[in-house]
Amino acid sequence: MKLAWERRGEGDPLLLIHGLGYARWGWEPVADGLARSFDVVLFDNRGIGESDAPAGPYTTSQLAADALQVLDEAGVDRAHVLGTSLGGMVAQELALASPERVDKLVLVCTTPGGPDSFPMPEQTVRLMTSGASLRQFVENALAPDADAELVERILRHREATAQPFDAWAAQAAAGGSFDALDRIERIAAPTLVLHGTEDAVVDSRNTALLALRIPEARVELFPGGGHLFFWEEPDRFVEVVVEFLQ
């Protein structure tokens, strides 16, 4: 498997795992800020960007194995792991399957999955089943009052790394089949759970499920933040993550 990755900064290793439809550019507003404190490793998940896109469907276990491959190629034995959305599901899987490789865990706008978690909000379900445009998906991933320039900035990136539908569906299948609610109590890594309160993609009530099941998990909400709240409040995001990891 060819997995495209890069690194920047110095310090303890920090692996970033993005979500459905986003290549490593998705960390643009926070990567350099985090790199002032950490050796940041970021990569394209299988199915997008410069990484291979084998036939799907994919699973979170496969994506977690990809993340381990990136750490191996980077020569990193143990790292902090931060994942958002689908990447947060992959991060949970990684922490469960290879706890010796994970120092601290940061879960962003994600869910433990399965039938007993809070389902995807209806407005996003409608977008995913109605042939919505990339612009509509970007707008939906931000807070309702998001700046128009921010929408255009993200849209340009998404258009430049647009996935074939089969690759997008293969990634989406990984999220749809993920169910760790009855397993996450075994996560040993100190965990921080972050969520925007206006997230229209992943129901923010899943934060409570994660915090209740993961031992001594800490929660911090971003009032008014959308699914991509770290694009909306990058400085606060970096501050909160750095404080937790250090």
The pTM (predicted TM-score) of the whole model is 0.96
pLDDT tens for each residue of 55-73: 999 999 999 999 999 999 9
Alpha carbons 184 and 186: distance in angstroms, whole number: 5
pLDDT tens for each residue of 172-214: 999 999 999 999 999 999 999 999 999 999 999 999 999 999 9
107 contacts 193 by C-beta, under 8 angstroms: yes
pLDDT tens for each residue of 131-173: 889 999 999 999 999 999 999 999 999 999 989 999 999 999 9
So where are the chain's domains? 5-245
Residues 111-140: b if buried by 16+ CB within 10 A, e if exposed: bbbeeebeebbeebeebeeeeeeeeebbbb
5-245: CATH, from 3.40.30.10, 3.40.50.1820, 3.30.465.10, 3.40.50.970: 3.40.50.1820
| Residue 219, phi then psi, degrees to nearest 5 | -120, 140
DSSP reduced 3-state for 57: coil
Alpha carbons 185 and 187: distance in angstroms, whole number: 6
